[in-house]
Amino acid sequence: MQTAFITHPTHKFDTYFGQTALAQLQKIARVRCNPTQDDLEGEALLQHIQGCAVVIAYRQTPFDRQVLAAMQEVVAVVRCAVDIRTIDVEAASGQGILVTQASPGFGPAVAEWVVGVMVDLARGISQARSIYQSGKFPVAPMGRQLRGSHLGVVGYGHIGRTVCRIAQSLGMHVCAYDPFVTSGDEGVQMLDLPELLAQSDFVVCLAPANAQTENLFNATTFAKMKRGAFFINPSRGNLVDEEALLRALDGGHLAGAALDVGRAPDQMPSPMLAQHRLVIATPHIGGLTPQAIEHQAIETVVQTEQILRGTAPIGSVNAAFAKRLSRLSLRA
């Protein structure tokens, strides 16, 4: 029986992997777990994965060119997340190491988070709660109604489509922008980005994070948004120029923002924005529900079982270069 190593720090294990997935993994492999509270990297990571055929990687675990070159026994790195930007896939391919990623089973959870913060931004719920808890009485503000408001979704993938469907059920006017999608579902108007920004009361950033979308939301983008609109980002902090967002809030062009991600460690919202009076910030919890986490953890177990049979599973990103797979066969 081959050995698999799980890199999740001890205090993240139950939340981001869980005992159900662990029990299933133990049926098909000898399992070792990160015994520390550290995000393993470099030499520390290499020491722990000695003798392992598969590494199941927490979202923060980095695999750079030097580490991958030293991983002589590892056949596959199985990322227990969608985001694989901290893995040098090109270097892994050069070593014949398979890289996989999980599918976005957190779609419903993230979509629900988006709807929740839209209501909060529109009605000032968090602000009122904070004022009451400070021992004062808030002035009752005039809120906004979602029904009849305009929602613009940037990134029309699985989560974007889910958000659009929920928004439509609430009576919102819905439009979307995605350079790779030409037509939307019924009732969803596909627009160019400037048109979407100009007419939307709520703009939700759900674009993927890559070199092309770095700082997609910048001073120019925010200036094109409707004055008094709200900006919502549950995607990745790399998509936002944070100084530009801060200026748009301080200058009164935007009425508020909700952020589940940012440029702080582990994709958390940055303190300078999280502390802003017009910002609702949450610590990267959009996809943090038992159903969403279990989906990805169980999927990594299924991927690992197929890898141990010498097969590249669904979710592989470099199967054509995974020469080390031929080493493996599942043994009792």
Residue 148, domain extent: 107-281
Which pLDDT score, from 0 to 100, does residue 192 have?
Answer: 97
Per-10-residue mean pLDDT, the chain, length 332: 96 94 97 96 96 95 97 97 93 98 91 97 94 92 95 96 97 97 92 97 95 95 98 96 98 98 93 96 94 94 96 96 85 42
Q: Which residues pair with 258 in a beta bridge?
A: 232, 280
* Strand extents, DSSP E, the chain: 3-6, 30-33, 54-57, 76-79, 98-100, 150-154, 173-177, 188-190, 202-205, 229-233, 254-259, 279-281
Q: What number of H helices and E strands is found in the chain?
A: 13, 12
Which pLDDT score, from 0 to 100, does residue 88 have?
Answer: 97
Which pLDDT score, from 0 to 100, does residue 104 have?
Answer: 84
Query: Are 66 and 190 part of one and the same domain?
Result: no
Query: Are 298 and 171 part of one and the same domain?
Result: no
Q: What's 323's DSSP letter? A: G
Which pLDDT score, from 0 to 100, does residue 329 have?
Answer: 61
Q: Residue 332 falls within a domain, yes or no?
A: no
When divided into structural domains, the chain yields a total of 2
pTM: predicted TM-score of the whole model, two decimal places: 0.86
Query: Are 140 and 224 part of one and the same domain?
Result: yes
Q: Among residues 241, 187, 234, which one has the least CA distance to residue 214?
A: 241
Query: Are 233 and 320 part of one and the same domain?
Result: no
